[in-house]
Amino acid sequence: MPDYKPNQIVRVFAVLALVAALGLVVVVVATSSGGSDGGGSSTSQAESSRPTKRGSAAISRGVWIVRAGDTLGKISEATGIDVDQLLQLNPDVDPQALLEGQRIALR
């Protein structure tokens, strides 16, 4: 049986690849926003509840016309009106199936 001599270059390369992969995982985890905000957000709570320009116009009309990609969460952020309040104002609306052109009452 021949003597087995492991290649030292391959071993060093494997360790370096492992360290690089671990570093990449750390960078991705550190820069991902995640689902929960641990308080490290740069915007304050009051600032995020302020209506956007489009939200202010919709509030003055009292109605939001759904566009493609709109959700109750996005409408809530744009208008500053809580999702629960939007659901109370629109009991017939299915939040999972908003249709483009659908009207959402804001008051």
Our measurement of the distance from residue 98's CA atom to the centroid of its chain's CA atoms, rounded to an integer in Å, reads 19
Cα 53 from Cα 46, distance rounded (Å) = 16
Question: At residue 85, what are phi and psi to the nearest 5 degrees?
Answer: -65, -40
Residue 57: closest CA among 106, 93, 98: 106
- The pTM of this model reads 0.51
- Residue extents of the structural domains in the chain: 51-105
How many angstroms separate the CA atoms of 80 and 55, rounded?
A: 8
Rounded (10°) angle between helices 53-61 and 72-79? 90
Q: Is 48 helix (H, G, I), strand (E, B) or coil?
A: helix
The CATH architecture of the domain made up of 51-105 is: Roll (3.10)
pLDDT digit string (tens) for 70-100?
888 898 888 888 889 989 999 998 888 888 8
pLDDT tens digits for 4-53? 776 888 888 899 999 999 999 998 888 876 655 554 444 444 445 677 77
